[in-house]
Structure 1
Amino acid sequence: MSASRVVRYALVPVQLLLLILFNVLLTLVSFMPHWMEEDLRKAILPFLPVGSKSDVTFYGVVDHRYFWPRMMTMFEITLREIMMTAEEGCKAPNTRLLRLSDGSECRILDLAKPARPLFMSGLEKFRQLTECFSEVADFVTIYINEAHPTDGWAIKGTVEIAKHKSLDERVSAAKKMLELQSVGSAVLIDPLSDESRKAYNATLERLYIIMDGVIVYKGAQGPYGYKMSEVEAWLKKYKGE
């Protein structure tokens, strides 16, 4: 067991306690008078990640009706961070996936080419990168489980998709995502076993770069750790700009 994994195990009790306190705080916010809630929203707005700066997202996140779904999502993310097998500098887990285009089975590393980085992304925000660096890197989007399903930690105003109960439902959801916004890369589907999501702890979203079968960049947990600027800096350095 690596030293970093031992440290992560040791910090679990502290992380879980902080998660409980944070979730309770979010719930208390939803019971504030509207004018106080609005002042708080304006105060934290500059610190929200790109794509989460809307009233809909803010009020959806603090909604007290989703206390337990929100708590369970946070718990799972924390525990998966310990159990995940994807580590920077180590061999990339070669998880099983399905191609959205034809439903055929493949592995993540099937898309990687020798001496050429493979950039693994969440669902959006990287079309410009694909245009700027397509000559030196390959890009792929992996569609995993729904982050905010209607029958889970739902957020009003987002695309209404329930938890995937079958592979067909997940494929349909991925196609719906593409109808709303083209991602500019190959799209792969994580099977219902969630093999890739678990190995790479990609809930809610995450960025990776794989080079010759080794993880050379491992982004932090999204949405706050979803930093395209870091990926762009890595690609520019690799390209020699």
Structure 2
Amino acid sequence: MQVGCNSPGLPAAFLQKILILLHVTMCVVVGKTLMILFPNAMKRYILKLGEKSRMNENPKFSYENWGPTFFSFKYLLFVLKVKWKRLEDEALEGHPAPNTPVVTLSGEVCRLFDFVQDNRPLILNFGSYFSSIADFLIIYIEEAHAVDGWAFKNNVVIKNHRSLEDRKIAAQFLQKNNPLCPVVLDTMENLSSSKYAALPERLYLLQGGKVIYKGGVGPWNYHPQEIRAILEKMK
């Protein structure tokens, strides 16, 4: 008997998660095997990926700090979490933007649209400044590389957030760098991260309640210059 995606016993989302599990597990097993058999070739490959996110440009953050962590068991768990969360993505270009709740560092619960001024564009920067024609908002989401998860060496020591207070304390590391825009926290239900498929980092441009630009998923496809180009055209 053939079981379809519409079978009441096997919801489509469940089947999608199983397929993702099989695919990611296969990729991790193959990647780990290649790292053992061809370490130098895999190092060149991973460094090539690092160039996309400019991770290689930080002299204090060498390949040995992050490269060997690829294809580990914690890497597998993290990639699964990211890909499963993307199934909840509701932020589509040209469609209404999810008005998800966020929390200010003072503890006030508000929504993304509360940061929209008139019909000005609002740039959402999801992660663990441009001109006077747009407003910017940093949404601090769950940690991508917590020390009790898929961790890198020589990195900021932050554990996975167990409470909103943990997330607030972690966001204060970012505040010390004096970002030129408001910083808010995603809820502990990770509603903004889920509905915008933002983990581990992502850029969006909203205007008129709609998603005008949806950036690629970081770190490899996180390109602030694309936002800059759009804003230049708006001048």
| TM-score, normalization by structure 1 | 0.79
Three-state SS of the structure 2 residue aligned to 1:80 is: helix
Q: CA RMSD in A?
A: 2.7
1:80 to 85, 88, 91: 85
Percent of counterpart pairs with the same letter?
Answer: 29
C-alpha deviation, 1:230, in angstroms: 1.3
Decide whether aligned partners of structure 1 residues 121 and 186 sit closer, same or farther in structure 2, where only a CA change above 3 A counts.
same
8 Å contact from structure 2 (residues 127, 199) kept in 1: no
Summarize the alignment of residues 1-241 of structure 1 with structure 2, pairs less than 5 Å apart: 16-28=21-33, 30-31=35-36, 37-38=39-40, 40-48=42-50, 49-53=52-56, 56=62, 60-63=66-69, 67-100=72-105, 102-123=106-127, 130=129, 132-133=130-131, 135-179=132-176, 181-239=177-235
| Greater CA drift, 83-92 or 208-217 | 83-92
C-alpha deviation, 1:29, in angstroms: 5.1
C-alpha deviation, 1:21, in angstroms: 3.1
The separation in 1 between residues aligned to 2:198 and 2:66, in whole angstroms, is: 21
8 Å contact from structure 2 (residues 137, 183) kept in 1: yes
1:132-174 deviations in whole A, cap 9, x for unaligned? 41x1000010001111111111111111111111111110000
Three-state SS of the structure 1 residue aligned to 2:202 is: coil
Give the gaps of 5 or more residues in structure 2.
1-12
1:166-201 deviations in whole A, cap 9, x for unaligned? 11111000002222x333211001121111111111
Give the corresponding residue for 2:9.
Answer: none
Three-state SS of the structure 2 residue aligned to 1:122 is: strand
Decide whether aligned partners of structure 1 residues 27 and 182 sit closer, same or farther in structure 2, where only a CA change above 3 A counts.
farther
Aligned length: 219
Three-state SS of the structure 2 residue aligned to 1:230 is: helix
Decide whether aligned partners of structure 1 residues 11 and 191 sit closer, same or farther in structure 2, where only a CA change above 3 A counts.
closer
Q: Which AA in structure 2 matches 1:105? A: V
The separation in 1 between residues aligned to 2:86 and 2:147, in whole angstroms, is: 25
